[in-house]
Structure 1
Amino acid sequence: MESFEENRVNQPLLESKKPRPAPVPAGEEVSSELEDILSDTNLSLWSRLRKATWIELKTLYILAAPAVIVYLLNNITSMSTQIFCGHLGNLELAASSLGNSGIQLLAYGVMLGMGSAVETLCGQAYGAHRYDMLGVYMQRSTILLMATGIPLMIIYIFCKPILLLLGESRRVASAAALFVYGLIPQIFAYAANFPIQKFLQAQSIVNPSAYIAAATLVVHIFLTWLVLYVLGWGLLGAAFVLSLSWWIIVVAQFVYIVKTERCKNTWNGFSWMAFSGLWDFLKLSTASGVMLCLETWYFQIMVLIAGLLPNPEVALDSLSICGTILGWVFMISVGFNAAASVRVSNELGAGHPKSAAYAVVVVTSSSFIISVIFAVVSLVLRHQLSYIFTGGKTVSDAVSDLTPLLAISIVLNGIQPVLSGVAVGCGWQAFVAYVNVGCYYVVGVPLGAILGFKFNLGAQGIWSGMLGGTAMQTVILLWVTSRTDWNKEVEKAKNRLQNWEASKEKNQLKN
């Protein structure tokens, strides 16, 4: 998307009385120590790289570390509910697992993906010091995500017949549906949380979200224990507590935005402008949602295909164990994904092509090195990994056979999510969505099915084929990123801001 034109004057419903600094005119570059060092020809190449790397690494890890903690804690919050339910019985474990990993994953992927449009726009506006637009973008995204929550709610309501249609037993489907009903408020918590979270990340405000997530986890565990083991409210009560916990996160983050001095320039109250330009915003949000959902669902499809194998039990157990390990390591990559999108969008908005390009190199290299370390550890411990989750030599041998594929997946996941973050920072979501469709679902899924069933390679064949799709997508993104003209990307970011500035002045003259 090339621009977002604002169709009416910004009229805050709740006006802040705090003085606001004069913004930098749209298109004017903002000074940067990193850009100055990279552009200083008086320094040797080694001196420039050494100083630039130190500056970028400090900035990167200040962003990435808290982001990793946030995603891990949010994941643990959902997993703790599943663990508590599992202690009630096998039926409750199956129901909560199906609700968490199946139905809930749909809403999570859609909302997180659509919310990433805020990363592009808020990041670039913040980099250009167009602070007054960040709050408008956050509100606009929240409106669209709340509207998207309505069809998702309908899917939740009718999840029982959907699960029965997919082949689940009536007993499990009924219990899972009860759990999912309690997750309906969580849909709209997602709709508010992700725009708020991206709004804060665009300003490099990440630590408060981590503190809030940690405190909420403690409250969540206590309330879940109380509801299940003292009050005896069962699956529905556990799901309601999970929904409540997400709303606690939303409210706490919004209170922080309203009360803190750090957001006094970016949050100026509710604005009527949030209701203008929704169509253009929807197009970018939809592309973002499709991009992320295609990635989120990819491994789930592999597990579903594995369930069709002649002896699915061992295959599913081994894939589930490897998938859980991959998911935990993936949380680290997601943190780097967030850092990459913030750094790239900020530098593009500020008019710093060299800094944006160098940020891509540093964040990708850092994530790659960490992923290689985890891949080596998984190979060394390949015979012991399964015993963390279950006993039995059969499953252990199956996991050991899959570990080389797990290691390759870990390495690719150290690169691919970061490049997706770069795409978000630049606003390439629609392009990446097309790449994902081709690589994942035109190449990866069919190739995995052929290797798994036609050539009788089982779970290894399915994973190998789908790994080929991931590798193809990673190579394409690496090629596109390496060939990017960062000066043109800066111009695109400037054009967005200039178009908004011209539209705003035009509307002010009319009024």
Structure 2
Amino acid sequence: MCTGSGAESRGGVISSDDWISKADDDQQNPLLVQGVPNNAAAGSAAAAAAESAAAAAAMRSARGGQAKLFVDGLLRRFPINGQLATLPLQEVGEEVVSLGRIACPIILTTLLIHSRSIVSTLFLSHLGDVELAGGSLALGFYNITGVSIMKGLSAGMDPICGQAFGAKRWAVLSQTYQKMLCLLLLASTLLICLLWLNLEPIFLRFGQDPDIVKFAKVYIIYCIPELIGQAVLHPMRSFLRTQGLTTPPTIAAIIAAIFHAPINYLLVIQLNLGAKGVALSLAFSTMNMNIGLLIYVAMSSTSIKPWSGLTFVSMFQGWWPLLSLALPSVISVCLEWWWYEIMLFLCGLLADPKASVSATGILIQTTGLLYVFPFSLSCGLNTRVSHALGAGQPTRAQWTSVIGISLAFGYAILACVFTNFLGEAWGKLYTQDPDVVKLISIGLPIVGLCELGNAPQTAACGVLSGTARPKEGARINLFAFYLVGFPVAILLTFQLKMGYRGLWLGLFSAQVACVSMMLYTLLKTDWKHQAKRAEELTAAVGERDDLEDGLINDSNDER
């Protein structure tokens, strides 16, 4: 029996009351005369309905036009609208392909290089809990005081070499490489090594566990040969990448990766060197890559020779333009990377320092894995934007930046979803310690949220580097990580008693602030002015050597 309301009855069985109501309504209906259709009234009503529909359509069209005018007026306030409004879809596809040709080999190369750290962490985890904690602390210190400085300084040569390549000034590339190689060798042998030799008193002063620090000191000292190798590798990779040559480093990385695990097994297990063997295996791997790349540039007819144009006088000229880019670049990179070392220090002050440090070391390795795609995309954007500006094509540079950052946002969403599905399974790949696994499962979802800011801001950094504006990046990173992220992390972790979760939420706040300021900076960019700056920069670094026009073939020009 149906006992529902009228509305419910119309959704199912119609009651007798509904029939009566319907009949009464029909008597009042002008379209019916004694139950028979009234054709004249129906025609008049149809005409009125048509007029009403036409008026409604006209109103909707007018509202749509007003909305379009409003959106167009809003977009005109941003510099991307003028050039991108008529960008053909085909050109978007071509630019994505061009970015992919540069970024995809870099993705594979970076994954292979990053896999070394994963293999090292796995070998350390099987040595014991203290060894894993000490090795994680040392690896973090190695990355943040060694690799970050190498990467940051070598980033200073990217805009110069990229814009010089776009302007077809080959001598500038080789002379810039030579200066950067000397700079990195000096930095690694004099400054960084001195810091590493004093690691133990520094860490103890900051309240770290003595057992962990003792093991970290042994590990970091045996990483010194690896540091020298990185000083040679970074400028060579930048030198080749700015020419669009990203496949040779990939091949060299594949060969090095094949031998990395066996070398670890030989040194750590067979020769029983323990953590010393883990550190030395990194040096052997980097040495293999350097040898492979040197053989390539010596035999290649495509690459510019890095030793060409070397003279006694050239080594003392053009240093200031390079240093003016290298120093802000290293500050920008270090400000971001050092945040992770600060997190490791703060973990040592939590209730369970060994578990916290171990979990953070593994999560930092995870963020490094997630960082591979945006970093590779950033390198591609750096190369494409600098080539376009060097060739006097500011519109093309602008297209490239917008397309690349859009790709980074898409990746960020995928990375966020991926990390939320990992759970405890990811931590169990590294260790069976339940405390460490639990902390990893707590941090992973926040790491995914961080990627929503990290991926697009990394891509935006590539654009800033391509426009030779590392100072902007340094200012943004200083504000985002140390004036926003650090206070938030301290507040959440220690004042609000959120513990381990609070540290990663502090990083999330820093990433949100960073990406917001990066995108604002790019929206305000005057691309025509950047093209003029590119011409001035390549002219200031070195004189053009016309004899070197034959050092590069036409296929490179097409790239």
TM range (shorter): 0.7 to 0.9
Q: Is the 8 A contact 2:335 2:478 kept in 1?
A: yes
Q: Is the 8 A contact 1:85 1:235 kept in 2?
A: yes
Q: Which runs of 5+ in 1 are unaligned?
A: 1-40, 506-511
Query: Number of residues paired by the alignment?
Result: 463
Q: Is the 8 A contact 2:159 2:382 kept in 1?
A: yes
Determine if the alignment matches structure 1 residue 221 to structure 2 residue 287: no
Matching residue's letter, 2:219: F
Q: Helix, strand or coil for the counterpart of 1:263?
A: coil
**How far is 1:294 from its partner?**
0.9
**Matching residue of 2:508:** 467
Distance 1:170 1:402, change over 3 A: closer
**How far is 1:326 from its partner?**
2.6
RMSD: 2.9
Query: Structure 1 CA distance, aligned partners of 2:147 and 2:292?
Result: 20
**Matching residue of 2:145:** 106
**How far is 1:287 from its partner?**
1.1
**Matching residue of 1:197:** 237
Query: Structure 2 CA distance, aligned partners of 1:317 and 1:387?
Result: 13
Q: Is the 8 A contact 2:166 2:389 kept in 1?
A: yes
**Matching residue of 2:157:** 118
Q: Helix, strand or coil for the counterpart of 1:77?
A: helix
Query: Structure 1 CA distance, aligned partners of 2:438 and 2:266?
Result: 40
**Matching residue of 1:13:** none
Query: Structure 2 CA distance, aligned partners of 1:237 and 1:325?
Result: 23
Name which of 209, 223, 230 aligns with 2:270: 230
- TM-score (ref. length: structure 1): 0.83
**Matching residue of 2:382:** 341
**Matching residue of 2:497:** 456
Distance 1:332 1:502, change over 3 A: closer
Matching residue's letter, 1:55: E
**Matching residue of 2:17:** none
Distance 1:441 1:140, change over 3 A: same
**Matching residue of 1:12:** none
Distance 1:456 1:241, change over 3 A: closer
Q: Is the 8 A contact 2:477 2:514 kept in 1?
A: yes
**Matching residue of 1:142:** 181
**How far is 1:382 from its partner?**
4.5
**Matching residue of 1:52:** 91
Determine if the alignment matches structure 1 residue 253 to structure 2 residue 284: no
Matching residue's letter, 1:286: L
Distance 1:311 1:179, change over 3 A: closer
Distance 1:330 1:379, change over 3 A: same
**How far is 1:291 from its partner?**
0.6
Q: Deviations over 1:186-237 (max 9, x none)?
A: 2221111111100100011111101101101122222222223333344334
Matching residue's letter, 1:97: S
User: Identity over the aligned pairs, expressed in percent?
Assistant: 24
Q: Is the 8 A contact 2:148 2:333 kept in 1?
A: yes
Q: Is the 8 A contact 1:144 1:282 kept in 2?
A: no
**Matching residue of 1:19:** none
**Matching residue of 1:494:** 535
Matching residue's letter, 1:486: W
Query: Structure 2 CA distance, aligned partners of 1:499 and 1:326?
Result: 38
Name which of 287, 290, 298 aligns with 2:331: 290
Q: Deviations over 1:261-316 (max 9, x none)?
A: 11147762634313323244223211111111111122332343244234656665
Determine if the alignment matches structure 1 residue 409 to structure 2 residue 474: no
**How far is 1:381 from its partner?**
4.6
Q: Deviations over 1:359-404 (max 9, x none)?
A: 1111111121122112123334557554544568876666555454
Matching residue's letter, 2:192: L
Q: Is the 8 A contact 2:386 2:466 kept in 1?
A: yes
Greater relative contact order (CA < 8 Å, ≥ 6 in sequence): 1
After superposing the two structures, state which structure 1 stretch, 495-504 or 280-289, moved more. 495-504
Larger radius of gyration: 2
**How far is 1:51 from its partner?**
1.4
Q: Is the 8 A contact 1:378 1:403 kept in 2?
A: yes
Matching residue's letter, 1:200: L
- TM-score (ref. length: structure 2): 0.76
**Matching residue of 2:466:** 425
